[in-house]
Amino acid sequence: MTLRLGRHAFADDATIMMAIVNRTPDSFYDQGATWAEDKASARVDLVVGQGAEMVDIGGIKAAPGVEIGEAEERSRVVDFVARVREEHPGVVISVDTWRASVGDAACRAGADVLNDAWGGADPELVDVAAAHDAAIICTHTGGATPRTRPYRVEYDDVVRSAIDDTVAYAERALAAGVARESIVIDPAHDFGKNTFHSLELTRRLGEMVETGWPVLVSLSNKDFVGESLDKPVGERLLGTLAATAICATAGARIYRVHEVVETRQVVDMAWTIAGRRPPARAIRGLQ
Amino acid sequence: MTRVVLVPGVLALLPEYAGFADPVADLRAACLAAVATLGTDVEVLASGSGARVARHLLDQVPRSDDHPSYLVVGNGSATRTERAPGHLDERAADFDARLRAALVGPDPVALAALDQDLATELWADTGQLGRLGGLLGGDCDVQVTYADAPYGVQYWVMTWTTA
């Protein structure tokens, strides 16, 4: 399906690198490295230079912690969105928020995508996306409350649950007026899931792709990688890339990443193997 | 007027082997320009995959005149450098120089007498060049529009026009 993310359209066979930009002092991977606005801005410059088509700006870390009110989240995100919009008109700007009010302000400042990592916790988020002709990312959390960790969560079939919930969310977005080509689904690895759930979602990602909705995967340096390989944060890149290759083979379209260059190479290689992308330049044996 | 065109049977010219970047863009342009001078009814002299290359090139360009036309597929050695498909063979440069001279001449006798054993050892595609010589009696204008070995294989694009 052709994908339209706010101001930007992508061909059916395009894959998209969505680089994570945290305006937080405490996210698990970067531990506040881009908390200062200038540092965050430098991060945007870097990832855009590395070829990222999209940035995902978040003002609240996913894990539990100090409560961040709406005003504080706005102050972290909205003006920064405006700055990125001005400095990088060609990049897709996604905002990682579950709050409709923050999403609305971000869209007014130039955001193209609302990345609802918490699976529709605020039912009015779809209305905001529709009002601004923005895209929305519909994630599966198994009903988890925002910023909670999974505790003894079980599913009869985690893939079935992910498909049912994200497709239902997508249809709710569609009914609210979000354009069909601007709705993306995300199984949300680790969110409301133990490692076995995330592994199964990776293994069976093709079933989500078969729904016809474009699929986003957010794998980067997550605990399911760390627990699979017994590696701490900071040593999970290879495992992340292995999972990325599996998801790319299945047909995921958008990759939410910390490492743009490495992920781009892996995705391109997997898509080339799958026959969805030609080689860059082929002459071996063809002279 | 009879027109004869020689192109190399480079598989990278085929669409099924296309990448984002074209590694033989200059060669392709020369081939298409030469093939465009042929008439509508073209006899192809080629062996194996060379016939596919010829057909693809012919399909790429509109042609209108009805002069007798031949498209011959062949090339020199594939042993010009250490990175060439057949690795470096010191005899290749001389072989290709003599072959070029026979083609440009044109020298039908030399083309008919090509050392096919040596051609095989040098991975040259010369199987059709003897017949090519047979088409080129009398006065003949020769144009060489491509002559290079970018991947260790000697390519030529040539056009002969006879009165």
Q: What is the pLDDT of residues A58-88, one digit of tens each?
A: 988 888 888 889 999 999 999 999 999 999 9
Structural domain includes residue A241: yes
Domain count, chain A: 1
- The per-residue pLDDT for B137 is 74
Segment B101-105 mean pLDDT: 96
Residue carrying the six token digits 């995959």: B49
**Residue A150 in domain:** yes
Within a domain: residue A278?
no
Task: Check A287 against B152: CB less than 8 A apart.
Answer: yes
Residue A147 above 90 pLDDT?
A: no
Query: In which band, very low, low, confident or very high, does the pLDDT at A235 lie, cut at 50, 70 and 90?
Result: very high
- Which residues on A lie below 8 Å from B17 (Cβ)? 282, 286
> Chains A and B: how many Cβ contacts under 8 Å?
38
Q: Is the pLDDT of residue B138 over 80?
A: no
Q: In chain B, what are the domains?
A: 2-162 (3.40.830.10)
One-letter amino acid for residue A12 of the chain: D
**Where is A238: in which H helix or E strand?**
helix A237-250
Average per-residue pLDDT in chain B?
96
- Which residues in chain A are closer than 8 Å to B153, comparing Cβ atoms? 287
Distance from CA of B22 to the nearest CA of A (A): 6
Query: For residue A18, what is the DSSP state?
Result: E
> Cα(B77)–Cα(A9) distance, rounded to whole angstroms?
48
B contact test, residue of A272, A277, A283 with most B CBs within 10 A = A283
Helices B49-60 & B25-35, crossing angle to 10 degrees? 70
Query: What's A27's domain CATH number?
Result: 3.20.20.20
Here the tokens at position A7 are: 């101001």
What digits encode the pLDDT tens for the residues A81-137? 999 999 999 999 999 999 999 999 999 999 999 999 888 888 999 999 999 999 999
Question: Which one, of B34, B2, B27, lies nearest residue B13 by Cα?
Answer: B27
Residue with the two structure tokens 């290689």: A269
Domain-embedded: residue A282: no
Share of chain B above pLDDT 90, in %: 92
Q: What is residue B37's DSSP assignment? A: T
Confidence of residue B98 (pLDDT cuts 50, 70, 90): very high
Task: With cut-offs at 50, 70 and 90, classify the pLDDT of residue A262.
Answer: very high
Average pLDDT over chain A, rounded to whole?
Answer: 95
Q: Is the pLDDT of residue A1 over 70?
A: no
Task: Give the ipTM of the model, two decimals please.
Answer: 0.88
- Say whether B20 and A281 touch across the interface (CB within 8 A): yes
Radius of gyration of chain A (CA): 18
**Does some domain include residue A283?**
no
Chain A: closest CA distance from residue B13 (Å): 9
Distance CA B76, CA B97 (A): 9
Q: Is residue A209 part of a domain?
A: yes
Q: Do A41 and A52 touch, CB atoms closer than 8 A?
A: no
pLDDT for the residue numbered B160: 97
Report the C-alpha gap between B114 and A180 in whole angstroms.
66
pLDDT at residue number A149:
84
Residue A236 predicted with pLDDT over 90: yes
The residue of B7, B11, B53 whose CB has the most chain A CBs within 10 angstroms, and thus the best one to mutate to test that interface, is B11
The closest CB to that of B12, out of A278, A280, A283, belongs to A283
pLDDT higher than threshold 90 for residue A29 = no
pLDDT at A142 > cutoff 90: no
Higher pLDDT, A144 or B111: B111
**Phi, psi values for residue A57, rounded to 5°:** -95, 125
> Is B85's CB within 8 Å of A287's CB?
yes
Which chain A residue shows the shortest CA-CA distance from B78?
A: A287
Domain extent for A253:
3-273
Is A287 among the domain residues?
no
Does residue A21 lie in a domain region?
yes
